[in-house]
Amino acid sequence: MPCHDSEKAHLRAPRPAVYAAGEYNFRVTVELDALDAALARALAGGGRVVALTGAGVSAESGIPTFRGPEGFWTVGSAVYHPEEMATQAAFRAMPDEVWRWYLYRLGMCRHAQPNAAHLALVDVDRALGERFLLVTQNVDGLHLRAGSPRERTYQIHGNVDFMRCAGAHDRELVAMPALPQVDDAPLSDEVRRLLVCPRCGERARPHVLWFDEYYDEELYRFESSLRAAAGCAVLVTIGTSGATNLPSQMVMAARRGGGLLIDINPDEGPFAEAALGGGGLWLAGPATEKVPIVGQAIARAVAAGAR
C-alpha cells in the first residue's frame, strides 16, 4: 500500500570495504531496521510480493552474464555479438551455429548449481504461498531446480531446457532430448536429428526470447507479469541491469501502483534510482548476501501482520 512522504525510507546500503568494523556493524543495523520498517508498512494490508531476478543472480552460480565475453561467438573469421546470435535472422541464416552457441550455454547451465539467493527465494515462496510470485529473466532453469514452483515462476525470457518447433507448432514446449553433446563442438548428424519437432519433424529452435521477437502472454507471461507488478505491495529486483523492456515496465507499474521497491545489486542502476526516488531501498551487495536478508525480513513482516 502507498506510504506518506514522512514515512518513506531512503537507504543506500554501505560498501563493506569503506567502513571500519564497528562503523560497518552500525550501518548494517541501520539497514536492517530500515528494511523491517519499510516491509512492515508495505505488507500491513496483506499485499503480494513479487521478485524479479536477472543475470546477476545466476552469475554467482558461475554462469557468465549474457553480455560478457563468453557471449560472443566466432564463425570462421567473423565475431558475432549476443544481439546478433540470439535472433530469428541468425537462426534462419546459420541454424547449426545458433544451436552450437545455445548448447554451449546449456552445458554451462547444467553444470551450475542453485546458490543461496535461489534457495532464499524458495523459502519466501513457502512462507507466502499465493502471495508470492517470482519473475525471472534467466533462462538457466536454476530457480526451478532450487525448488521454486513452476506455477509461481514466470520465465519471461524462456528456458534452455526446452525447445520449440521452428515451424507450425511453435507454441508447444518440448523438453530438450538427451543429447550426446552439450558443448561448442560442431553439430553431429545425430544431434541434428534430435533437435526436431516431435510432431512434424521440422527443425526445432531453443525456447528463448530472441532480440528480434516480442514478449507475449502464452510463452512469456507478458500481461500476467505486468498485472502482478502493478498490484503488488513489494517488488524486489535482484541482479538485473534494467536493460530489457518488460522488467522496466514492471518497475514503472509497481511504482505507479504504490508498491515498495527494493533493488539488490552491487552497482547503482536505473532500478536502484527508481527505488530510491520512490521511497524504496537500494541494498548494494551480491544477491547471495542480500536476498536471504530480505527474505527473512519479509517473513518477519508477514508473521507480524498475521498476529
CB 57 within 8 A of CB 244: no
Describe the crossing of helices 287-306 and 21-42 by its angle, rounded to 10 degrees. Answer: 40
End-to-end CA distance of the chain: 19
Give the whole-angstrom CA distance, residue 251 versus residue 256: 9
Closest C-alpha to 154, from 212, 105, 224: 224
Q: Is 157 a catalytic residue?
A: yes
Is 12 exposed, middle or buried, given 0-12, 13-18 or 19+ CB atoms closer than 10 A? Answer: middle
Cell of 180: 550426446
Backbone angles phi, psi at 249, to 5 degrees: -65, -35
Give the whole-angstrom CA distance, residue 154 versus residue 15: 32
Q: Which H/E stretch holds residue 284?
A: none
Torsion region of 260: left, alpha or beta (phi above 0 gives left; psi -120 to 50 gives alpha): beta
**Sole residue written with cell 552445458:** 107
- Of 118, 157, 169, 207, the catalytic one is 157
DSSP state of 5: G
Residue type, 119: L
Pinpoint the alpha helices (H) of the chain.
21-42, 55-59, 82-85, 88-93, 95-111, 116-128, 142-146, 189-194, 217-220, 222-230, 245-256, 270-277, 287-306
- The residues carrying an active-site annotation are 157
